């Protein structure tokens, strides 16, 4: 059964290394973090990569939409130089590479399914297929989350055993009905959308509460006092 850690590295240790790269994952692990969050998108030719933005401009030396780029082009890009010269040459990881790294490093993950527009079904199926292929059957399954409810519905239909996280940027009064319909494990919320009462409401219905993105100790302490189970942070050493 999946066990959450109190602190989840947001896209790895993204305050210390370029987000959603294996270097960021390694830095998080070296800081003692045993649970990471990262995003998955598909290339134009259907390959699953660890990447967040719809466009390449912010975190690579490429240009244009991620979902319109081929695997060959994406693998040619530098995903580290934007962050620091020290990370020049760091690549956008394949999901396969990320899963193999997690297994070998004994680190757990929250994988956010982040479909490029129009690719919800393909992206979801790609993530589930690769988990089936590369994740050991004797290990607890990773937590899958998404803002895209259709992605979560498809996950629940194709992989009934998969722990799912319901992801919201703003509070929704209908959260409970959605969480129940999807048989979710957790509810993930922007810290700005939370109050102590809302945390209590979610906990009353036996869902885990995960909050993003928290980068200050005092804020983390307040959220844990409210009953939050886990925070996502760019600083995996925040609680040390």
3-class secondary-structure state, position 48: strand
Out of 10, 137, 188, 205, pick the active-site residue: 10
Q: Which of 115, 184, 122 is nearest to 153 (CA)?
A: 184
- The contacts of residue 17 (CB under 8 Å, 6+ apart) are 23, 24, 26, 27, 80, 83, 87
The DSSP letter of residue 85 is G
C-alpha distances out from residue 107 to 100, 131, 167, 212, Å: 10, 15, 22, 19
The pair of structure tokens assigned to 127 is 């993530």
CA atoms 38, 22, 103, 127: torsion sign: positive
- Looking from the CA of 42 toward its CB, the CA atoms found within 13 Å total 20
137 a catalytic residue: no
Check if 205 is active-site: no
Q: Where in the sequence numbering do the catalytic residues fall?
A: 10, 52
């Amino acid at each position: 059964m999946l066990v959450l850690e109190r602190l989840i590295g947001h896209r790895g240790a993204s305050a210390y290394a370029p987000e959603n790269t294996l270097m960021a994952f390694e830095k998080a692990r070296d800081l003692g973090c045993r649970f990471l969050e990262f995003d998955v998108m598909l290339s134009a030719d259907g390959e699953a990569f660890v990447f967040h933005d719809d466009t390449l401009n912010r975190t690579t030396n490429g240009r244009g939409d991620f979902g319109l780029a081929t695997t060959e082009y994406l693998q040619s890009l530098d995903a580290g130089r934007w962050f620091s010269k020290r990370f020049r040459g760091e690549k956008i990881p394949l999901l396969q590479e990320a899963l193999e790294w997690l297994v070998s490093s004994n680190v757990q993950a929250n994988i956010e399914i982040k479909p490029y527009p129009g690719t919800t079904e393909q992206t979801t199926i790609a993530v589930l297929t690769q988990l089936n292929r590369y994740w050991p059957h004797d290990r607890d399954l990773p937590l899958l989350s998404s803002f895209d409810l259709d992605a979560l519905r498809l996950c629940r239909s194709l992989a009934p055993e998969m722990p799912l996280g319901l992801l919201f940027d703003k509070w929704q009064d209908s959260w409970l009905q959605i969480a129940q319909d999807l048989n979710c494990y957790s509810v993930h919320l922007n810290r700005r959308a939370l109050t102590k009462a809302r945390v209590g409401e979610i906990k009353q219905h036996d869902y885990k509460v995960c909050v993003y993105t928290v980068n200050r100790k005092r804020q983390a302490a307040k959220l844990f006092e409210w009953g939050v189970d886990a925070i996502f942070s760019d600083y995996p050493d925040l609680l040390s």
